[in-house]
Structure 1
């Protein structure tokens, strides 16, 4: 009798609990769907988490206390801190940096003195593209991709707003409104190739297994061809080029992407480099006009045929989160190996690599030691100099330095110090011989 009573009581409890158990089961299953298959509200949760992390990292920036582009440094002295006059390549250094609270383009002499500067106001160039915080746009503006001509004209990529050509007096010559970023280069006929992206919000039948990420879209990396007069001539998709080349293996090489790609930024191109005719004979695998790009998120450098736009060559590694590969006159490729592992260097510091594309062998590498050791969790650029030295950017460390490859020694350094212990980010850098800078004796009229 007691056993029968207990069974009745247990059955009664199960009956009373079953609606809650059912709800719990539904919540559990739906939670799996949110986490694994991006069911709503996955996108909203992702945006909220990203916003919270952004505020955690950049609250001083948003409150106007200190720019996010000013970061801690062990350096206490700014300007030129190393200068070996016998070994450093003499010239003027064109640099984009966060300077005096905003992104600017500067021209430095070898002593670190600013001999010229270019500024711009994106509110005047792209008023329709600045929808949020127009008052803070000068603080938030990021120049990422720049080039200077001997006459003092500059081309500047203003991140995700557009590209502008300024004359030597910072007067706009033309601008385009596109999501441009990272890099640009000049074709033999004078046209520009500019790195851009397009947000794709839908699935497309010609791109099987490629789906929008948690933000509701993915970034389709593009190259934009612009005439010398600023007219957009065409824009072509690097994702489509991979499909056309039957190189989907590159696109789907990320974690879990053997099933499908559901990420915001599957490739993240940070380079466009055109092989010029003077160097082409040194590269048995390539021809003049071939185009090199750098897909950071899959640790891969690709060379496209300049005419067919199909993949001609690629190498994945031996680098991690790389930036800015350059063709060298000896038939090698020089690149900036970030070794990105988030906020801390877990696989070694950032280094410079020289790679032979025949066999993808490392033939030279440099990793700074002591006070010259550095790690960049994003960004990065290097530039080979005519005397064989290499000019490199420590972006988050706020400095430029010149390395002599044979000795591995730093023979020139400039630190963009804001105050002791804090330096402004440095993004782009190029050293020009003195005879290629022909505008310094031409004054600009005072601002109206």
Structure 2
């Protein structure tokens, strides 16, 4: 098999080309031998099961839920998992990763907490995030009617034939009480009719990315930064990440003043597509997933890591980008009247060569590891890669189903280090190769 090559490109350094060994067709595992202690956690799309495997592809534990996963899954420090599961599409057919229920399962798969957020006009979907205080952030759609859309300035010819638009919001739920304690709605922060988008980047233009599809904003990830007390969401359809102030009451989050930053729930920062707010600067994100702040003990701490999916027509390849927004002493993100929110380019970017050899147009993610390497999940292929800062592949794996077939879709994969508190005292014995059990 010809040698593949890849690169990490630093904004401050010249491009270097480094060998990248691709996954061979005859084997699901490749790369040098690795210590057996790290594990990988993932849930295949169309599966009720969540798997924990070692780096040899051996199953060491699994959890099985009552219905298929709604994409994301997190291992908590006590060995429980937090994951949404699907109630079916309901009013939101075609959106993908339809959830509706968020659950915490103990190590043995017993439900310890369950919260349903689904109805005819709203539904949880895609991602959740546990906060340091134990609360859970959830992404959800809500339906707006054609009349509501016209009232906020949406062009009538871009209102879907369905007569409804799905718009995202975020809720914060306290598992101790199962009550919503905070929420933020994108619909509350639309540009006023007649205003110039370039003069109000803190607002969302109701006509930006307006298509015939009902699923307008399509948020696929949520994260929380406790140091900043800010929430970040990834809007796939806008090809942007948005950051808002969490230091608000729910009433303040619905308005344009108040909170820790004095701007209510308006956008504090957005990045990826300046054209969405009327600027000519080039688009940098393309249907991205898994935008999150790099944790404080890892390389690049405080910066934002993103799987940049690409576009089938204009950019048929995927990269992993890391950006370093500039936050002033006054708490305001740096902004340029021409370029928009800074930076103008990623601090670093990983790309395969040829670029098209890594292309996952939907789902997928990336995670910075304690070693400084990065775990990449090419979700549409069910392919996981661990790449070094120099661009070498340290490990790779392809998920197979019960028939041995590859191409099992995985929303996201997460490395769990062997000394993680969640694994303390657990018996982790290899049980044979992982074979993803899919629900047809």
**Length-normalised TM-score, structure 1:** 0.66
Rate the CA distance shift 1:246–1:265 in 2: closer, same or farther, 3 A.
same
The aligned residue for residue 252 of structure 1 is 207
* 1:228 has 2:178 as partner: no
SS of the aligned residue for 1:368 comes to strand
Which of 205, 213, 218 matches 2:160?
213
Alpha-carbon deviation of 1:173? 1.4
The aligned residue for residue 284 of structure 1 is none
Structure number with the higher helix fraction is 1
The Cα offsets for residues 228-248 of structure 1, whole Å up to 9 and x where unpaired, read as: 336031443122144598744
Which structure 2 residues correspond to residues 88-237 of structure 1 after superposition, within 5 A? 91-98=38-45, 102-122=47-67, 141-158=68-85, 159-178=98-117, 179-204=123-148, 208-210=152-154, 213-229=160-176, 231-234=178-181, 235-237=183-185
Give the Cα–Cα distance (whole angstroms) in 2 for the partners of residues 165 and 217 of structure 1: 32
Instruction: Check the 8 A contact 1:350/1:376 in 2, yes or no.
Output: yes
Q: RMSD of aligned C-alpha atoms?
A: 3.0
Rate the CA distance shift 1:82–1:296 in 2: closer, same or farther, 3 A.
same
Larger radius of gyration: 1
Give the Cα–Cα distance (whole angstroms) in 2 for the partners of residues 189 and 157 of structure 1: 19
Instruction: Check the 8 A contact 1:251/1:266 in 2, yes or no.
Output: no
The aligned residue for residue 216 of structure 2 is 266
SS of the aligned residue for 2:415 comes to strand
Instruction: Check the 8 A contact 1:82/1:413 in 2, yes or no.
Output: yes
Q: How many residues align?
A: 330
SS of the aligned residue for 1:204 comes to helix
Alpha-carbon deviation of 1:152? 1.9
Instruction: Check the 8 A contact 1:340/1:377 in 2, yes or no.
Output: yes
Listed as ranges, the gaps of 5+ residues in structure 2 are: 1-21, 86-97, 118-122, 193-199, 248-263, 274-282, 327-341, 430-440
Rate the CA distance shift 1:294–1:202 in 2: closer, same or farther, 3 A.
same
Alpha-carbon deviation of 1:291? 0.9
The aligned residue for residue 310 of structure 1 is 266
Give the Cα–Cα distance (whole angstroms) in 1 for the partners of residues 353 and 404 of structure 2: 22
SS of the aligned residue for 1:335 comes to strand
Rate the CA distance shift 1:327–1:242 in 2: closer, same or farther, 3 A.
farther
SS of the aligned residue for 1:195 comes to strand
Listed as ranges, the gaps of 5+ residues in structure 1 are: 1-72, 123-140, 278-287, 444-448
* 1:394 has 2:372 as partner: no
Instruction: Check the 8 A contact 1:353/1:362 in 2, yes or no.
Output: yes
Give the Cα–Cα distance (whole angstroms) in 1 for the partners of residues 378 and 212 of structure 2: 32
Alpha-carbon deviation of 1:416? 0.6
The aligned residue for residue 409 of structure 1 is 392
Give the Cα–Cα distance (whole angstroms) in 2 for the partners of residues 276 and 355 of structure 1: 19
Give the Cα–Cα distance (whole angstroms) in 2 for the partners of residues 426 and 205 of structure 1: 34
Rate the CA distance shift 1:160–1:199 in 2: closer, same or farther, 3 A.
farther
Rate the CA distance shift 1:144–1:313 in 2: closer, same or farther, 3 A.
same
